[in-house]
Structure 1
Amino acid sequence: QIEHGLGSGVVISPDGYIVTNNHVIEGAVDIRVTTSDRRVLKAKLVGADPITDLAVLKVSEANLASVPWGDSTQVRPGQTVLAFGNPYGFRFTVTRGIVSAINRSNPDSNRSKPGEFIQTDAAINPGNSGGPLVDSRGQVVGINTFLVSPSGTFSGMGFAIPTQIVKPTVDELIRDGKVEHGRIGIAINDVTPENAKFFGDSTAMGAVVTQVDPNSPGAKAGIQIGDVITQINGQKVNDSGELQVYVVQQKPGTKLDLTVLRNGKTETVPVTLEALNASGANNANATEGQGKMRWGLGLGELSSDIRQQLQVPGNVHGAVIEQVRPGSSADNAGLQQGDVILEVNRHKVSSPADVQQELSKVAAGQDALLLVWSNGGNSFRVLHYPEGA
C-alpha cells in the first residue's frame, strides 16, 4: 500500500536547496516539490536530522526565488510574523500573526531534542509543517513545525524552530549529509524563583541537573543531581533550553568547561561530549497513616508489580504516589498518581517511610523540594507548606 503525505518547505538558495521538517519526508521513497508557479519537480534528499526535525532537499533548477535568513535571536514577543505553507492541501497559504513567546521548551518526550521554539498565533495547521515563519522584512526567522491543540487543528498556538538552530543544522546537512550532536548525558530543568533558594542560587537563573545517566560524560565528570549550571565556556546560561541548544550544536569530542553552583559554592567542571544517538539517546502526621497526608499525598511501596505496571526503570528507586488530594500542596505542585518521589530536600528516599521522615523535618511555614520521576524523566517540584497545618 502506498501512502501519500503533504507538507511545506522553503527555498533557501537559487540553485535549489529547500528546507523542510524531517517528519514531512521521513520514510518517503519519492519526493516531489510543487513551486509557486505550479511546476512539479522531483527532489532528492540531501540529509535529515531527527533530533532537530529538519531536512534539506535539492531540486535540479537554477535561478529559483529564495528567501534570506533572519536572526531569530532578535525576535521579540509582539512583533508581526507571517506563516507560509499548504494547510490541508490549500497551496501557498499565508497567515499573519504575532510572536506570542520565545524560547519555548520542547514538549517531546525525547529530552535530547532542543527547544527554544518561537510561539506564534499565526494560523498553523496540518500541512504547514516545514514552511517558513517570516518577519516583516521578509526574512526567515523560523521553520514551522507543530501546533498545540486538543482538536488537532489550530487553536492559537503554533511553534517554529528558530533560525539559530535551523541555519547551522542546514549548513551541516548540505556539507556532510548528516548532523552529529554532542551529549553530556544529563536531564535539566529551569531554575525558578520558587526553587532557587533550595540550591543557593540568588539569581534564579541557570539549569538545574535532575538526572545523570550512568557512564555518561556527565557522570564521568562528576556532575551531580542538584548542581546548577550557570555558565558554559564562560558564557552565561539563562535557562535549561539555552544550555540544551548550546550542547546539541557541539560536535562529539568537544571539551566544555561548566561553571556549577553546588551547595552554595561555585566549581568548574570540565566535560568531554560524546555522540548523541538520534533514537534518543511528604510530611505525614503519625496518626494520619500513609493514605491521608497533610501535604495531600498518599504513598506506596514501589514493588516489582507496580514498577512493571508503571514501566519504571530498574535504576529508579523511591516511593510511588498512589493518591493526590485535589487542591492540596501536592496537587498544586503538579504531582500525579504514578509519579515516583526520589528525593526530599536533596535527601534520597527509598520508601514511603523515608518520605514521611524527611517531610517531618520541614519547619512550619517552610517549603519542601522533591525530585520526582514522571513520564520517563526527573524534575524538581516545590511543595508549599499547607495552610493551617
Structure 2
Amino acid sequence: MESQKPHFFTRLRSHRLTTTFTLLATLSIGVLAGSVLTRSVSGKEQQGVDSSSARPLVIPNPTNLSNGFSAIAKQVGPAVVNINTESLPKESPKKKRRPGAGGQGGGQGDPQSPEDFFNRFFGGQGGGQGDDDGDGQGGGERRALGSGFIVDSQGYIITNNHVVDKADKIFVKLASDHDEADEGVPARVVGVDPETDIAVIKIDVKTPLPTVKLGNSDGAQVGDWVLAIGSPFSLSQTVTAGIVSAKNRSIDDRDANGLSKQFQKFIQTDAAINPGNSGGPLVDMAGQVVGMNTAIYTQSMGSQGVGFAMPSNIVASVYNMLIGPEHKVIRGSIGITFQAAQSSAVNRIYGYGNGGIIITTVSPTGGAAKAGLQPNDVIISIDGRKIADGDDMVQDISARKVGSSVKIGYVRDGKQMTASVTIGDRAKTYSDITANTDDDAAAPQQADAGESKLGITVSPLPAAQAAKLGIKGGVTITSVRPGSFADEINLGKGALITEINKKPVTDMASYNAIVSGLNVGDDVVFVIRNTASKQGGNSFVGGTIR
C-alpha cells in the first residue's frame, strides 16, 4: 500500500490542470444559458401577463392627525409674511469698536461674540445676494430675506431689526400671494429698537388682514411643544416643530459701541430655524405666539438644534412704544455702568454675597452722580427691595418713567447708605460714557515682587498719564506667566491696577507692600482702571491663591 501512494498523487497532479479547465467551461456554459433563459422569460412577462384581476388603489378620505400641528399651522400661517429687502451700495465710515465698554448692566470683556457663532439670518449679515462686502463699502445692490407676522389687521407687522436695518426698499409678501415672481407690496418702517432687535413695519391694505394671537411668554415652560414658522432659504410658509429647551437665555453679544445687549433674554428652542426664519413667530400648542425667532447657535449658518426667540412679552412691550407718537423705545437709567461679579472672592472682599452690584462708572450727567453715588459703591436695593444681580436692577430701572425718582440703597466702605436718584433717558445718559480716548503709550517694563506669587510683572504708571486719567497713580501689567494665578483669573497684559483688596496702589512701593503680604489661600481682588473712556470706570478681577 505504501508504494501505491506516490503513484496516486502523481496522477492527481498531472490531471489537475485538465480538470480545472473542464469545470470552468461547464460553469461558463451554465451562465450563458441562464442569461438567455432569463431574457426570454422577462420578455414574455412584460408582454403576456394578464392583469385583469388586479384592483386599482383607492385614495382614502383625509384624516386629521391627533398632534394638532396641522391645525395650528393653518391657524397661524395666513398671518406670517415673507420680507424681502434691497440695499443700494453706500459709502460709510467704519466705526471703531471700543473694547470692554459696558452699559447699565454691561460688563467688561471682548466685544466680539465667542467664536462669532451667533449668526444673524440675512437682512443684516452674510446672507445677501450681490457683492456687498458686509460693511457697507461699495459693491452692487444687495438683497436679503426674512420673515414677520401681522399683529394688526391694518397692516402692522413685527419682525427683527436686522432684517430691515439699512434697507432702502422693503417688500412684504403675504401668505395668500402665490405668485412667485411677485416680490410683494412696499412697506415702511414705523420704528426700531436695536437693543432688542425688534422692528415694526407697515403695509397699506384695502381689506383687513389675518393676525396672529399673542401669548404670554411667561407661561412657556421648558419641554413645551412649539412650532417655528417662516421662510428659511426663501421657502415660504415652512413649519418646523420642537420644544422649549431653555428660558431666559442670554447671548454674549455686543453692539457697535461694545455695549452688551442686556435687554435680550431669549427662549431657546430646538425647532429647526435657518436663514430666512428671522422675524417669524414661535408658536405654542394653543396657537399663540410666545416668541419671535431671532438668532441661532451655529458654525455652519444652518440649524444645529439651538435657536433663540425673543419672548412675546418683551416684543409686545417694545411694539407698544414703537407705535407711539415718538416711534422709539425710551428706557430709564440712573447713569451708571457696573460689572456683574464673576468671582466669589470679589463678593467676599466687597461684602455683598447676598446680592448687589458694584458700580464701575458714574456718568456726570446721570441721576446717580447728582445723588452722590461713586465708583466702587455697591448697590443692594431699589425702593427697599433687595436686588439679586445686575439683570434684576436693569429690568427694574429701565421700566421706570423718565423724570421719576427711585430710592437706591448702597454700601460704601462697609456702611449702608441711601440716596434718592432721578431716572433719566438711558440713550442720552450714555452718550458721554461711550466716548473714546487716545491710547496711552506703554510704560517701560520693570521687575516687581508679584512675579512669583501672582505670575505677573508690572511697571509704574507715568505721572503724566495718571494726571490725564485723574488718578493718583497705579501699576500696569507688562507680562502674565501662562498657567499662573493671574492667568487663571484672566488678568491680562496692559491692565492698569489701582487697588488690591481695597488698598490703593499708586506706585511700585505700595504694590510690592501689598503683594508681599499675600499668602496661599488668600482672596485677592484687583481693581482695574478702564483707560478706554473719558469717564474711566473700574472692573473687578479676583480669585483665591492656590
TM-score above 0.5: yes
Q: Which residue of 2 aligns with 1:26?
A: 165
Q: Which residue of 2 aligns with 1:292?
A: 451
- Bigger drift between 129-138 and 47-56 goes to 129-138
Q: Which residue of 1 aligns with 2:349?
A: 198
**What is the aligned counterpart of 2:263 among 95, 98, 114?**
114
Distance 1:151 1:338, change over 3 A: farther
Quote how far apart the aligned CAs of 1:117 are.
Answer: 3.2
Provide the rounded CA distance (Å) in 1 between the counterparts of 2:249 and 2:538. Answer: 21
Q: Which residue of 1 aligns with 2:142?
A: 3
Quote how far apart the aligned CAs of 1:72 are.
Answer: 3.0
Q: Pairwise mapping of residues 331-346 of structure 1 onto structure 2 (< 5 A)?
A: 331-346=487-502
- Bigger drift between 173-182 and 105-114 goes to 105-114
Q: Pairwise mapping of residues 265-344 of structure 1 onto structure 2 (< 5 A)?
A: 265-277=415-427, 281=431, 289=448, 292-301=451-460, 314=469, 318-344=474-500
Q: Which residue of 1 aligns with 2:542?
A: 382
- Bigger drift between 354-363 and 319-328 goes to 354-363
Provide the rounded CA distance (Å) in 1 between the counterparts of 2:174 and 2:158. Answer: 13
Specify every segment of 5 or more residues in structure 1 that has no aligned partner in the other structure, as ranges. 282-286, 308-312
| Structure 1 residues 46-96: Cα deviation after superposition (integer angstroms, max 9, x where no partner) | 111223322111122344332233333344444444333333433333442
Q: Pairwise mapping of residues 219-230 of structure 1 onto structure 2 (< 5 A)?
A: 219-230=369-380
Q: Give the number of equivalent residue pairs.
A: 375
Provide the rounded CA distance (Å) in 2 between the counterparts of 1:92 and 1:35. Answer: 10
> Does residue 41 in structure 1 map to residue 185 in structure 2?
yes
CA contact (8 A) 2:160 2:199 kept: yes
3-state DSSP class of the match of 1:66?
A: coil
Bigger-Rg structure (1/2): 2
Quote how far apart the aligned CAs of 1:219 are.
Answer: 1.7
Quote how far apart the aligned CAs of 1:171 are.
Answer: 0.2
CA contact (8 A) 1:200 1:263 kept: no
Provide the rounded CA distance (Å) in 2 between the counterparts of 1:133 and 1:304. Answer: 57
Q: Which residue of 2 aligns with 1:184?
A: 334
**What is the aligned counterpart of 2:231 among 54, 72, 86?**
86
> Does residue 17 in structure 1 map to residue 159 in structure 2?
no
> Does residue 67 in structure 1 map to residue 223 in structure 2?
no
Provide the rounded CA distance (Å) in 2 between the counterparts of 1:127 and 1:215. Answer: 42
Distance 1:212 1:158, change over 3 A: farther
Distance 1:222 1:157, change over 3 A: farther
Provide the rounded CA distance (Å) in 2 between the counterparts of 1:303 and 1:94. Answer: 63
Q: What TM-score, normalized by structure 1, do the two folds share?
A: 0.81
Distance 1:352 1:171, change over 3 A: farther
Provide the rounded CA distance (Å) in 2 between the counterparts of 1:279 and 1:87. Answer: 39
- Bigger drift between 206-215 and 52-61 goes to 206-215
Quote how far apart the aligned CAs of 1:152 are.
Answer: 5.1
| Structure 1 residues 178-216: Cα deviation after superposition (integer angstroms, max 9, x where no partner) | 22222222112334671322232242x233322223343
Provide the rounded CA distance (Å) in 2 between the counterparts of 1:91 and 1:318. Answer: 60
Q: Which residue of 2 aligns with 1:310?
A: none
> Does residue 359 in structure 1 map to residue 509 in structure 2?
no
Amino acid across the alignment from 2:291 = G
Specify every segment of 5 or more residues in structure 2 that has no aligned partner in the other structure, as ranges. 1-88, 90-140, 179-183, 432-445
3-state DSSP class of the match of 2:453?
A: coil
More helix by share: 2
- Bigger drift between 297-306 and 185-194 goes to 297-306
Amino acid across the alignment from 2:266 = F
Amino acid across the alignment from 2:248 = I
> Does residue 53 in structure 1 map to residue 197 in structure 2?
yes
> Does residue 167 in structure 1 map to residue 311 in structure 2?
no
Amino acid across the alignment from 2:408 = L
3-state DSSP class of the match of 1:7?
A: strand
Amino acid across the alignment from 1:180 = I
